[in-house]
Amino acid sequence: MDIKSWRKSSRSGDSGQRVEVGRAIDLAAVRDTRNRDGGMLVVDRGTFAAFLAAVKSGRL
């Protein structure tokens, strides 16, 4: 799997927890900025979009 375009989450601060979000053609991935080799959570982009919408609306 070739995840491209990793970027730090806009919600990550300078202290505490930091995450990066990456994407492939039909996938989205999340990994720990401080432990990039520690693995990643990968879901389809539709699922990730629904998750983000729920967080932004306050449902999660």
Closest of 11, 7, 10, 13 to residue 28, by C-alpha: 7
Name the pTM for this structure: 0.75
CA 20 → CA 11, 29, 30, 32, distances in Å? 10, 8, 6, 6
The rounded mean pLDDT for the chain is 87
Mean pLDDT for each 10-residue chunk of the chain (60 residues)?
80 73 92 90 95 93
- The residue ranges of every structural domain in the chain are 4-57
Give 40's Cβ-side CA count (13 Å radius). Answer: 21
Rounded Cα distance between 60 and 40, Å, is: 21
